[in-house]
Chain A
Amino acid sequence: EVQLVESGGGLVQPGGSLRLSCEASGFTFRTYWMSWVRQAPEEGLEWVANIKPDGSEEYYVDSVKGRFTISRDNTKNSLYLQMNSLRAEDTAAYYCARFGMVGTIDYWGRGTLVTVSS
């Protein structure tokens, strides 16, 4: 059974940093594209970042470029999101997600909540 379990969320002040983690199990992690998707309170979904199976390439939504970094450790079946220079508008539930079929997220974690506030 595919499982994605996020951790690392919490309350952080504007300008601060946070590192999210996602532990994957139930599939061969090193062969899949992975992604982070976020959802602000009472708002819709927003794709944040993708990373290739070998970690060699990363892609980001414009609003987080230069501030967020997606990475992975295939030896630990883990995905990460380093978030720097956080802003109030980054407040959201952050979901770890797997790309199964080409161009399609097929599994999601339960999310971890990030709140940016003073």
Chain B
Amino acid sequence: QSALTQPRSVSGSPGQSVTISCTGSNSDVGNYNYVSWYQQHPGKAPKLMIYHVDKRPSGVPDRFSGSKSGNTASLTISGLQADDEADYYCCSYAGSYTYVFGTGTKVTVL
């Protein structure tokens, strides 16, 4: 049950794209398509942005997209906006009804 590995921080200018990686193992990310991504603003509860690797809940802009290759999932934010500045966490099913989160990535809009 080790946390998934994410970069500590990424940054970009308004309008640019940033990609956040989430690296796990054959026991979690690599074995299941139940990867989700959450946005968390300071002092707030997390918000679901992507589920099942690449699906967006209603209301989430299509600037947010997800993908997976092997043991690594990725979240891409296109057309970066000031309100995108937040912490982002990935989460994967890890078998036997257990889950593991990523270490978290701070996105900074320059």
Contact = CB atoms under 8 A, between A and B. Distances in A.
B101 interface: yes
Interface string A59-94: 101100000000000000000000000000000000
A101 to B, nearest CB: 5
Interface residues of B, number: 27
A45 B89 contact: yes
A26 interface: no
Given A95-B45, A109-B45, A103 B103 contact: no
Interface string B31-59: 01010101010001111100110000100
Given A45-B38, A46-B3, A104-B48, 13 more contacts: A44-B102, A45-B89, A57-B97, A95-B45, A95-B46, A102-B34, A102-B52, A103-B34, A103-B36, A104-B34, A105-B36, A106-B51, A106-B57
Interface of B: 1, 3, 32, 34, 36, 38, 40, 44-48, 51-52, 57, 89, 91, 93, 96-104
